[in-house]
Amino acid sequence: MRKREERERSQGEIERKLSRGELPSGEDLAPLFGGGLVGRAVGGLVGGALDALGGAVQEAARESSRALEEASAAIRADPALRDALGGDLSVSPLGQSSSSSVQVVDGRRTEVKQLRLAVLVQGARGSAQGSVGVSEGGAAGRSVQIQVSLPGGRVVDVRPGGGGGGGPGDVIDVDVL
């Protein structure tokens, strides 16, 4: 009877933590695995895995938010899109996918993370669908690719950083009168 009460109390504590957006600890999970030495060991393993997963999910959410903000600013500033769709543009997320890979060659570890976002771009004269690709890690560092497909089939490549340029390696001709 005592183990059952501990398990029910543990379940209640886990539910309270989850409702507050917290993850249960190994100590919270131990009664679910029978308590005792084995329960504490398994609870600790599962709790550690949940902590790692929770950290990875939070990091992915931050990267997704950062990519959406960066892409939204660039899309809203792009003159070709403003002209085609009309004035002030709004950007809404439609979906996302992400992947991560690790490669070890000659003892050198390389991790590459990729994020793809689908966005809806709306203006006064219509809407279009966009694609945002972010790749981070490896030899290339961080790269962002933004493309918006207009209703007529034309694809606009949007420069990250708000369009209208002057990035590294760009040449800007200016005539001063």
Q: Which of 142, 99, 96, 97 is nearest to 120 (CA)?
A: 96
Q: What average pLDDT does the chain have?
A: 78
- Around Cβ 136, how many Cβ atoms within 10 Å? 17
Q: Are 118 and 93 in contact (CB under 8 A)?
A: yes
Q: Which of 129, 122, 131 is nearest to 88 (CA)?
A: 122
Domain boundaries, the chain: 79-158
Write the pLDDT tens digit of every residue in 20-42.
777 777 777 777 676 677 666 77
- Please determine, for residue 176, whether its predicted confidence score (pLDDT) is greater than 60: no
| Averaged pLDDT for residues 131-148 | 86
**158 in helix, strand or coil?**
strand
Q: What is the pLDDT at residue 40?
A: 67
- Please determine, for residue 91, whether its predicted confidence score (pLDDT) is greater than 90: yes
Q: What is the pLDDT at residue 124?
A: 92
Q: What is the pLDDT at residue 166?
A: 39
- Please determine, for residue 1, whether its predicted confidence score (pLDDT) is greater than 70: no
Write the pLDDT tens digit of every residue in 98-112.
888 888 888 888 888
C-alpha 106/C-alpha 88 separation (Å) is 51
